[in-house]
Structure 1
């Protein structure tokens, strides 16, 4: 039933107002929805980015080993003043100069003001965090992943300590991630005071009043204010605490130890440190005002006098080699390839790390240098070096190396006549033309090894000219003549050091092998000779390529060691302060020549020393020391054009001793340089013998290997005996037979053109004169 009551009247709304309110509500609702959606998306994106960042971080630190308690104690808190260089018997050569210099102190020997100042300035959350500040890590992660900021983040004191003691100074995020991980390890095993003490012992603090680079708070306190670290005042502590941020800029001293004309930057930095201490509640307002108003420059020490330790070639050569070895070891451990290590920016990073290790971590570097031998060699060059001078008034310099044949161990060396006047190391660092001393390694050794010749094979020594390049048509000369106008045996060619014969033989090798780089690639490269396009030139057989004394001696070591190259080395091992081995030399012999080839070459080079056509070394030895002269010496001489370079390398079965002589300005030396070098070398060998006679045993001999082929050949042609047919006639071969030594292959059948090199006219002349040197002056140039 329907009610009959009148219904309530409904008030009608204004259509305009209704529409406006509706759209406003809808708009607000839409905006809210959009904001909620945007916030959700932003939150999810942030979480995603954080998740990616965390995953990325995990990927970066994958493979990084956590530090053990022992590692932390050794690598982080163990700070040493310097490393030791030692002779082969364990005696000290020297303590390595640290740069920066430092002194280690315990925590209770450091003023509390310094610790408070460092914490307030460098790491305000130091006593609260566990090695890292989480928000800094998150900021670094997001910045790296999104690219919207720096991936470096702020480093805590613990992270800075890890970076300086364990990691390199590389700025990659991978290093940063490892730094974060390792910093947390450090916090597990060291107390806060131990971390702070270690940081203050290793951090750089600029310069002292002698201009030396300094590190460690004790050295800073003594070098700037003349007090111990425990006695530093508040004002002094604040100044020192401000230095690590930019040590050289804030230091009050120049590199000579003078006070800077303007050291206001350091003063301003000190005031900032004091304010930080006041702000953090480390000092009261009264202490702050007194310290900030104190004129700290009154406490700066005046310039001091620096006493420089006198070091010589031995110190710097072993020291630099140790840096090189440690850098390579660290790079290898990081998976850096040899090719990548050649990149200067890469190698420099590892060299810097190695240098810091040697200067700061108390390493022991055990060298191969025998003290008695080294001292004897220095005494020898002091006493007899003047024998090398040629009367020109210009000092004739020298560089020498004594090497063990079996191992490559370097017993001693000579860098120059006098380190105080010439610091150029002519044993290791200079490169000079090898001259004829290269012939056994570049020409005769490879030719014998390839079976191209035997010891009595014949090679042209008739006048000839170059055939290629800028020297085309230029006469090729021997040291004392334009050619002996005959075909020399290989043995005689090396004894006389014939340039013409070496030229022909080398060209024959390259022609037969079809490559101008064949000899370098197959032989020299295995002995670490420098790579150079000049090895493929016609003049290469004359020794026009530059080499170091060490390289040349190492080549002869190879022949003396049955053809096996042992790289010359100066360092046996490197250990850290706890005795852990960081580097140890490993013998890695490389076969370059066959045993047969090496023994034949030594047999031929014995003739060089015994017959004395190019050096009186042996006869001078006899006049000096008969026992030493009885040693089985083999070797080779070398004299460059105009006698600008002169070499004598000699080997006994156990040792190789070689010397280069010349002038640093590359000017010519007067005639007779070979005799002067021989005299000097004989006295040098005798001086070494006087302190190490057991290294020279006259009973030891170079023997021909069992694999050597002893072939009977015609003495006239160097080929198999038998008549020779030429132009329809049988020609009787003059002379008898002889034994030719072959490493492989063997002599061919006798023939009219029996030798290497030479023209038709040369062969006619040789046959007509029955092999005798022709005195005919006709031009037989090719």
Structure 2
């Protein structure tokens, strides 16, 4: 073999060897390429999947608007929390009836042990994440797409959002919104605030009264009898474990008794402690000691819930609270007053108000003085029998502060157990003669139509219209005294014929049958009734409540300024923020002069004692109380069905209605019985609070009152001569002082008074002029 052939063979061998390596390299490179392609596809597929997932997430939350912090505060703070009603001194009247007991406390009043225990058990990565845990999100997405597995793993923040803002549905759309909102919560709240919110809203089973409880404070107090800030480690661990299954883990039954077996709750407590130990929140020693701790000894024994006697006070305050909150809710919804007045709309908001009040942790601050209220209840219990005739008589009373309209106390009835009908605020009865000061006398004086000593006819008269047309107008005891009385005398005797004439003259002068209501009573919120335009209106035909009567007299006692009577001073939330605050809205109804003249004349009503012996009864009971400057007016209706007495001092107005619920007659002594009862009621109030009556204060005539010397025969300017039936005589010069709000007495004339016929005036002139003072001449 030539040298050339040898070289050729070697080349071929090398070529064969290199080809195998070559193919090997090719294979390796192909595999590498395939691997790279595979990895690239996986990355691209993952990216595509992630993109699809993110797009799906964006689609699900696309219609969810990120809330502002203010909106979050409202939503997260919208919790079921126990509300209560309190007296003016903030002592509790009652907790408001609700299914869940809850008290919210600030974060710094919650033990750090509870916070740590909750985080360790519910969300160990709580202080690391921003509201959600990514792997949990991925797990939830896979579960939603494949239908395999669970979408659980909510963070503590998500649990808070789910409980307070979202529903319990299990769709991924809700889960996606939960995640979005959880991240928003984390942006706006500190971790400590989020834990505190969670602990304040979570349910904790039952307390030792058997009541359902929520919020860590109620749990601490209701299970261990300590505040949330005072819990020790095992107590904190037990409470932290309750929210997962509150009723199962609770140590109490629905009657407040300890369960026969509460191992489930104790085992849950041990799990919480282990979670804390695992997270290095507590040491091994602390863990062992807490596990060995005799927690059962700390459980409070069963107690019986106080059966609060809500009675008239609770009902009255709550009725007003419902109306106030219903109105505020409607205003928040921008509902017009016209729409709100519709019955279906009003009832809807009233229902919403009841739910909001019962579950919002409100404190309703009433105006009611605790001691005064109790004294009034004791008085009606001890002296209510004085009102009875042949049968039991009901009663309604109100004590109102004149300058503010605050209702300091009231009596709703004789016995709440027998009848829950509130005769102070709900009962509408004919006003009787007690309406005369505000309806008849004050408007006429305010219009300048008469002074205190002007004269008005009390001669027999007949009705001019209506069903009783042609029938006699009668006083309580007669058909007329056949004379012209002074305005003051007619009020003292509460005669109906003078009131009729004064009212008709006022309407005639004002030019409208509704003028008195429109210009006076409407301003004091008296009901708008057609009966105000009846001829019989001044006799008290319109039906009013005891509250409305009280407010009318309050207006006069307050210098002519109406302050609406009210029971609720404010409503505050659990943090002390004002949800509602009563705002005074004083309305001038009568001039200062008119009001002071009326009080001066109503003082005569009380002091003369013609229609009431209230003052003499008071003096017999308490001389000091009798020294108060009492003014007032009585009222009765036909057959003594209703008996009214309203009295005032410069400080307060105290009212009373008495009668039978079936509107059956009583007897002619009804007024005297009312006066006796009222004397004891006033004394009961005085004994517990001497200052409230204002015995050292006095009604005084306002400086704007005009004082005129008038003839005590005619009420007109004194002096002059008069000719009657061809007889001329000098009018006696005896004078008296008459008080006028505006205008003044006219010169004497034949028809010098209000009402009466020509023959009435002839009769009066003839009988009133002593023969010795006549100067007769024939024409």
Q: TM-score range by the shorter chain?
A: 0.5 to 0.7
CA contact (8 A) 1:158 1:195 kept: no
Q: CA deviation at 1:309?
A: 3.8
Q: CA deviation at 1:341?
A: 2.3
CA contact (8 A) 2:492 2:605 kept: yes
Pick closer, same or farther for the CA change 1:687–1:324 going to 2, 3 Å: same
Q: Choose from 607, 616, 621 the match for 2:618.
A: 621
Pick closer, same or farther for the CA change 1:375–1:306 going to 2, 3 Å: closer
Hey, what does 2:545 align to over in structure 1? 548
Hey, what does 1:506 align to over in structure 2? 503
Q: How does 1:675-686 map to 2 (within 5 A)?
A: 675-686=672-683
CA contact (8 A) 1:66 1:182 kept: no
Q: How does 1:754-765 map to 2 (within 5 A)?
A: 754-765=752-763
CA contact (8 A) 1:402 1:411 kept: yes
Please say which of residues 103-112 and 403-412 is displaced more in the overlay: 103-112
Q: Choose from 416, 423, 426 the match for 1:426.
A: 423
CA distance in 2, matches of 1:582, 1:380: 35
Q: CA deviation at 1:405?
A: 0.9
Q: CA deviation at 1:213?
A: 10
CA contact (8 A) 2:81 2:100 kept: no
CA contact (8 A) 2:69 2:188 kept: no
Hey, what does 1:362 align to over in structure 2? 361
Hey, what does 2:520 align to over in structure 1? 523
Q: CA deviation at 1:761?
A: 2.0
- Is it true that 1:766 corresponds to 2:768 in the alignment? no
CA distance in 2, matches of 1:523, 1:583: 29
CA distance in 1, matches of 2:337, 2:115: 43
Q: What's the CA shift string for 1:182-235, capped at 9, x where partnerless?
A: 999657547999999989987999x99x9999999999xxxxxxxx9988999x
Pick closer, same or farther for the CA change 1:184–1:742 going to 2, 3 Å: farther
Counting matched residue pairs gives: 603
CA contact (8 A) 2:85 2:92 kept: yes
Q: CA deviation at 1:94?
A: 1.9
SS at match of 1:473: coil
Hey, what does 2:5 align to over in structure 1? none
CA distance in 2, matches of 1:653, 1:625: 19
- Is it true that 1:692 corresponds to 2:689 in the alignment? yes
CA distance in 2, matches of 1:634, 1:238: 62
Q: Choose from 638, 649, 661 the match for 2:635.
A: 638
Q: How does 1:446-595 map to 2 (within 5 A)?
A: 446-595=443-592
Pick closer, same or farther for the CA change 1:238–1:720 going to 2, 3 Å: closer
- Is it true that 1:94 corresponds to 2:115 in the alignment? no
Q: How does 1:181-196 map to 2 (within 5 A)?
A: 188-189=187-188
- Is it true that 1:443 corresponds to 2:445 in the alignment? no
Q: CA deviation at 1:692?
A: 0.7
CA distance in 1, matches of 2:181, 2:489: 68
CA distance in 1, matches of 2:203, 2:536: 54
Q: CA deviation at 1:160?
A: 8.4
Q: CA deviation at 1:570?
A: 1.4
Q: CA deviation at 1:434?
A: 0.8
Hey, what does 1:396 align to over in structure 2? 393
CA contact (8 A) 1:575 1:581 kept: yes
With normalisation by structure 1, the TM-score equals: 0.68
CA distance in 2, matches of 1:103, 1:577: 8
CA contact (8 A) 1:107 1:197 kept: yes
CA distance in 2, matches of 1:238, 1:697: 56
- Is it true that 1:410 corresponds to 2:412 in the alignment? no
CA RMSD between the two structures: 4.6
CA distance in 2, matches of 1:570, 1:352: 21
Gaps of 5+ in 1: 1-53, 116-124, 130-155, 165-178, 220-227, 241-252, 254-304, 773-782
Q: CA deviation at 1:613?
A: 0.2
With normalisation by structure 2, the TM-score equals: 0.68
Q: How does 1:206-225 map to 2 (within 5 A)?
A: none
CA contact (8 A) 2:82 2:103 kept: no
Pick closer, same or farther for the CA change 1:163–1:644 going to 2, 3 Å: farther
Q: CA deviation at 1:85?
A: 1.7
CA distance in 2, matches of 1:57, 1:503: 70
Hey, what does 2:741 align to over in structure 1? 743
Q: What's the CA shift string for 1:290-339, capped at 9, x where partnerless?
A: xxxxxxxxxxxxxxx99854321112212222222223233334443433
Gaps of 5+ in 2: 1-61, 105-109, 124-133, 139-158, 168-177, 219-237, 255-303, 771-779
CA contact (8 A) 1:74 1:578 kept: no
Hey, what does 1:81 align to over in structure 2? 81
CA contact (8 A) 2:554 2:653 kept: yes
Hey, what does 2:143 align to over in structure 1? none
